[in-house]
Amino acid sequence: MADLPIAAVVRIAKKNGAERVGSDAAAALVTKAEAYIAELTKKANRLAQHAGRKTIKAEDVDVAVKSA
């Protein structure tokens, strides 16, 4: 089961120009978004650990995004 609420993902899609979002497309967006967040978190966590921290900071996420 997905952790991200489908309604929130549909709202984001609509705010970015989608007039309508089918249920299959919404499910696909949720799946892809969760996969992206998971990968980004892994990279940011490695950066935080490298810096000797247990806490991921915004700068770790920023660097992880740039390295993607």
> For 13-68, what is each residue's pLDDT tens digit?
999 999 999 999 999 999 999 999 999 999 999 999 999 999 999 999 999 999 97
Domain residues for 46?
A: 6-14+23-67
- Could you identify the residue written with the tokens 């997905």? 2
Q: What is the DSSP letter of 1?
A: -
Q: What pLDDT score does 35 carry? A: 97
Inside any domain, residue 42: yes
Cα gap 60→43, rounded to integer Å: 8
pLDDT at position 61, please? 98
> Looking at the domain assignment, is residue 1 inside a domain?
no
- Within a domain: residue 47? yes
User: pTM for this structure?
Assistant: 0.88
- CATH number, domain containing residue 40: 1.10.20.10
User: What's the structural domain count of the chain?
Assistant: 1
> Tokens at residue 23, please?
């249920």
Q: Report pLDDT for 30.
A: 97
